[in-house]
Amino acid sequence: MFFHLPLEQERRRSDMSLTRLLVLNLCSDLPFLHLFTCLFFKGFSSFQVNFLHPEFERRPSQIVSQDNMKVEILPALTDNYMYLLVDEETKEAAIVDPVQPQKVLDAAKKHGVKLTTVLTTHHHWDHAGGNEKLVKMEPGLRVYGGDSRVGALTQKVSHLTTFQVGSLNVKCLSTPCHTSGHICYFVTKPNSSEPPAVFTGDTLFVAGCGKFFEGTPEEMYRALIEVLGRLPPETKVYCGHEYTINNLKFARHVEPNNAAIQRKLSWAKAKYDGGEATIPSTIGEEFTYNPFMRVREATVQHHVRGFCHWVPMETDFLLVI
């Protein structure tokens, strides 16, 4: 049986090109995909909270240290984060999305490490815009990315491509939607009990997700639930922007009685007011307060039903327009 049930066709953002039909196969995720779509386009996209970050790039960096892996969180531009990833065993380092090259080199010098690698999550200028300048300042860098539009690219990667930074293993996770070539980088230390790390760019934020510039709701749902959501729950999440407080305010709007959201929002405000980053979270934590990873929860479904007139059953087919 087919149900040709149109989804709301007005899109609040002209840059979200969802004009083609997606015919989705019968699967248990269908109701949740529909809820996810409604939550983004009719919920999050219309939920506006003004939150400015004055002199964000001048905020101090922070270091997340483990015995085998160290990450320095480097604020950049108005709300971006770059990440210096250091292998403590070999003192080899990688930089994630180096939009401000001099700041990157200063950090590497401070730690006394050899910068060998650039991990680019996607081609947008606020993430890849410093690549070409950086490779001129530091010749010989390997520049990884999943899109030929990435500046100074030397190593194009795809889903499950693996390589090493020193003794650290890096696995590439394809998460198309924000951009078609978006890559997240999952980093582990072999034979270590320490939590791994994932650098998610503009796919997964603390309590939120990225805009659908070049993809579909189905792609973002798969990226969050089936790719990132299947990583170990203790995995530390390092995202591309400081959007945490805004995202948690929307999450509170969706689930006003969720105590995890209330606690995280209070914590994030205190951190930010104290000049600190609200990064990292963990994959396990995201399932407690991120509405886009909680579409299977009854409280989120109840909220979406308030503005989405049709919520499908698992036996339905769906045409998303």
**pLDDT, tens only, 17-37:** 332 322 333 334 666 777 788
Mark whether 122 is an active-site residue. Answer: yes
Catalytic-labelled residue, pool 29, 34, 97, 122: 122
pLDDT value of residue 46: 67
pLDDT value of residue 7: 34
Read off the pTM: 0.86
Phi, psi of 106 (to 5 degrees): -65, -40
Mark whether 182 is an active-site residue. Answer: no
Distance CA 315, CA 102 (A): 55
Q: How many CA atoms lie within 13 A of 183 on its CB side?
A: 32
Chain centroid offset of residue 192 CA = 25
Catalytic-labelled residue, pool 34, 123, 178, 303: 178
Mark whether 202 is an active-site residue. Answer: yes
pLDDT per residue as tens digits for the range 220-278: 999 999 999 999 999 999 999 999 999 999 999 999 999 999 999 999 999 999 999 99
> Following DSSP, what letter does each residue of 74-96 receive, concatenated?
EEETTTEEEEEEEETTTTEEEEE
Identity of the residue numbered 14: S
Catalytic-labelled residue, pool 34, 123, 127, 182: 127
* End-to-end Cα spacing for the chain: 19
Q: Are 41 and 10 in contact (CB under 8 A)?
A: no
**Helices and strands (H and E) in the chain: how many:** 9, 17
Catalytic-labelled residue, pool 29, 87, 97, 124: 124
Distance CA 207, CA 302 (A): 19
Mean pLDDT over 111-124 rounds to: 99
By the 10 Å C-beta count (0-12 exposed, 13-18 middle, 19+ buried), 260 is classed as middle
pLDDT value of residue 316: 32
Catalytic-labelled residue, pool 241, 273, 303, 309: 241
Mark whether 126 is an active-site residue. Answer: yes
Phi-psi region of 152 (alpha: psi -120 to 50; beta: other; left: phi over 0): left
pLDDT value of residue 228: 99
Catalytic-labelled residue, pool 29, 87, 147, 202: 202
Mark whether 106 is an active-site residue. Answer: no
